[in-house]
A and B are shown apart, each in its own frame.
Chain A
Amino acid sequence: MEHPLGYVDHTHPNLVYRLKKTLYGLKQASRAWSDKIGQYLLTSGFQTSNVDYLLYVKKTNRGIVVIVIYVDDLIITKDSDVDIFDLKKLLKQKFEMKDLGKLRYFFNIVVIQSPKGIWLLQRQ
């Protein structure tokens, strides 16, 4: 890669940056991310589905945790007895993920959760 603006070294014009890790914009970036998060979930006891490799399920003695990966978003649901506080903490530490709380918005769909059920709205 060429020298970033502001760091152009005119005394060494033949030197370039050989990337060892991904940067935004690279074709490899999304694959590297999904492999990384997938690997992490598998080592923390999740299993991936044969039907959809972006669906991860973990069974614990208190119930199950389900994670769906949608590009840079994770949708998480679980038995109400399962505590995912630690999982969220680790996701934050390892992946700089932000806990967005209850799912409210996803791929142009507004999600409203209430004790009566879940509403999905496509109104813009």
Chain B
Amino acid sequence: MVRVIHEIEPTCFEHVVGNPKWDNAIDEKMVALDANATWELVVLPKDNKAIGCKWVYKVKHNADGSVSRYKARLVAKGDAQTYDIDYEETYSPVAKMTTVRVIIVMAATKGWSLHSNGCKECFSSWRFTRRNVHGTPIRLCGPYTS
């Protein structure tokens, strides 16, 4: 039998504050973000508005269903960001379906195996992409040469 009783992940700060395991998770994350030089404390420039942020709580489980870790993630409320003021170009790294299909066909005909690598933390703690003088992103892709 597998134990399927999962601890409920809290959704708001008021429910976790004072609870040592979640307080720890939050402290741990803050220390990591600080150590990572994620931010600096500055005086809010006049006529600017700071965006909000919130904590998201996750309970990590071991394969046997027992709790392995309490994790807190700090999420910025990006929906409050305004195009042209807070950000310019957005981009979602999604390969074309045709590309994926071709790769799968190649693998099938050549007898290659397909592997997968996932990333849970991939959207945090990267330096913002630098831009050139025209405000357009610096293109990183070089041409493919055979």
Residues of A within 8 A of B (CB): 1-2, 4-7, 12, 14-39, 42, 47-55, 57, 66, 68-80, 84, 88, 91, 95-106, 111, 113, 117-118, 120
Interface size on B, residues (CB 8 A): 74
Residues of B contacting A91 in the complex (Cβ-Cβ under 8 angstroms): 117
Given the interface contacts A52-B96, A75-B116, does A26 sit within 8 Å of B106 by beta carbon?
Answer: no
**CB-defined contacts of A20 to chain B, threshold 8 Å:** 37-40, 127-128
Interface residues of B (CB under 8 A from A): 13, 17, 23, 26, 30, 36-44, 50-56, 73-79, 81, 86-87, 89-96, 98-100, 103-104, 106-108, 110-129, 137, 140-145
* Contacting pair A35 B112 (CB below 8 A): no
In the complex formed, the residue of B with least CB distance to A38 is B140
Q: Are B111 and A80 in contact (CB under 8 A)?
A: yes
CB-based contact A28/B128 at 8 Å: yes
Q: Which residue of A lies closest to B107 (CB)?
A: A77
**What is the distance, in angstroms, from B86's C-beta to the closest C-beta of chain A?**
7
Q: How far is the CA of A6 from the CA of B145 in the complex (A)?
A: 52
Residue of A30, A66, A76 touching B92 (CB-CB under 8 A):
A30
Q: A2-B51, A4-B30 are in contact. List 6 more A-B contacts (CB 8 A).
A: A4-B74, A16-B42, A18-B41, A27-B86, A28-B87, A99-B115
